[in-house]
Amino acid sequence: MASVRLRGIQKRYGDNLVIKGIDLDVEDGQFVVFVGPSGCGKSTLLRMIAGLEDISAGTLELGDKPCNDVEPSRRGIAMVFQSYALYPHMTVAENMGFALKLAKVPKTEIAERVQRAAAILQIGHLLERKPKALSGGQRQRVAIGRAIVRKPEVFLFDEPLSNLDAALRAQTRVELAHLHRELGSTMIYVTHDQVEAMTLGQKIVVFNGGHIEQTGTPLELYERPANRFVAGFLGSPRMNFMPAVLAGEEGATAAVRLPDDSIAEVAADVGRARVGAVLTLGIRPEHLRLSQDATSGGGSGGSGGGIGATVALVEYLGDVVLVHLQVAGVDGTLAAKVNPGAAVPAVGARVGLQFDAGHAHLFDEAGQAFAPSRRREAAHAAIQ
């Protein structure tokens, strides 16, 4: 096992700076997930760690040793590719043992290590097959097996589940988490799937435009996003946003004026903003409550039924009902998660939207989040 330390890592293609100075520490045995939209640089950074891309500037340390110019095969790293990259002309056993063969490991030891890895992944019966005779899930296991036999200090995964169907993806996700517990290795996992990120990662690194937006545990990122990008990226459906104007501050609570001119309370420390500042209010779909009373009341802390809204669409997902709502002065629709057992309004119905001050987020004009006040921290502590 080894730690991974990145300091000021940059990647430049000609004049185009695609990785803009990354500082990151991955501890021994930690499962870290790089997540972000397509083109954010997460895969490029993974390939730089692997040695498949040159590092334009900065320092990469693996186990406290500088590795910028070390050959990929000498970094103690194994990588699982999105396409699996299994050699089609070799059997599963040959695929898994190829790296050991190149390293001139004795045949008996190769066979032993391949068997051991195959046993862990339950693919012992597939060893003599060619990749074309395997299902997607089996290929994925072989690709992981190929990494395991090398006994690497760091595993790199580049969107390894993206070619699997939803059911297999969920199953393999669980198996990967189990594998990490069993091997105890350092693992860095790239995905654009936030569910994978939230369920697998001990630490999540959110990338955007070649830089890190936020680093933290899944719950930290979900409950206390540092900015509007992270808030909108994690969570499905995404966080609801609506424009708000800071109307005042009292203790641990900020009062904001919403598009319907109502006042809502948010548990946030808005000390750096002035009254009248244009802000963004963020509320996750599961924190929006629907009320039959559509009279304007500000949603939280106010009188009346809440923010007036019209039901635009209702989606029944089995375990939850998604209600999409139109609110005057808000672009697009807002989403609310409703328990299927509760009364679900019909499309076109007028409803009120309510939320708890402790579950709302406020972002300044630059999209940076205001720190939650102690009131909200207490609410989170209670949840945890």
Partner 1 sequence: MNTKSTLGWTAIGAISAVLLAALWAAPLLWAMSTALRPELETVSSDFHWLPQTWTLDAFHKTLAAGNLLRWLFNSALVSLAVTVVTMAVSLMAAYAFSQLRFRGRGLIFALAMLAFLVPFEALLVPLFRTMNALGLINSYAGIVLPQVVSPVVIYVFKGFFDEIPADFREAATMDGAGPLRVLWSVYLPLSGNIVWAMAIVTFIAAWNNFLWPFIIVTSNDMMTVPLGLTQTYDAFGVRYAQLMAAALLGAAPVALAYIAFQRKVTQGFLAASGLKG
Residues that bind partner 1 (CB under 8 A): 50-52, 72-73, 77-79, 81-83, 85, 87-89, 98-99, 102-103, 146, 150
Nearer to partner 1 (CB atom), residue 11 or residue 324? 11
CB nearer to partner 1: pick between 26 and 77: 77
Question: Checking DSSP bridges between strand 203-208 and strand 65-66, what pairing results, if any?
Answer: unpaired
Q: How far is the CB of 31 from partner 1 (least distance, A)?
A: 20
What does the alpha-carbon distance between residue 331 and residue 344 come to, in Å, rounded to a whole number? Answer: 23
Residue nearer to partner 1 on the CB measure, 99 or 314? 99
Report the nearest approach of partner 1 to the CB of residue 72 (Å): 5
Pair of tokens at residue 131: 């990749």
Closest C-alpha among 332, 373, 223, 378 to residue 287: 223
CA–CA distance, 127 with 83 (Å, rounded to integer): 19
For 118-158, what is the HEC assignment?
Answer: HHHHCCHHHCCCCHHHCCHHHHHHHHHHHHHCCCCCEEEEE
Could you count the other beta carbons within 10 Å of the beta carbon of residue 65?
12
Report CA Rg, the chain: 25
Comparison of 21 and 98: residue with beta carbon closer to partner 1: 98
Q: Cβ 156 to partner 1, closest distance in Å?
A: 9
Least spacing, CB of residue 237 vs partner 1, in Å: 33
Whichever of 155 and 233 has its CB closer to partner 1, that residue is 155
- Measured from the CB atom, the residue of 156 and 267 that comes closer to partner 1 is 156
Total Cβ atoms within 10 A of residue 289: 18
Burial 193-206 (b: 16+ CB within 10 A, else e): bbebbbebbbbbbb
Q: In whole angstroms, how close is the CB of 143 to partner 1 at the nearest point?
A: 9
For partner 1, the closer CB: 104 or 274? 104
Least spacing, CB of residue 47 vs partner 1, in Å:
8
- Minimal distance, residue 165 CB to partner 1, in Å: 21
H or E stretch covering 65: strand 65-66
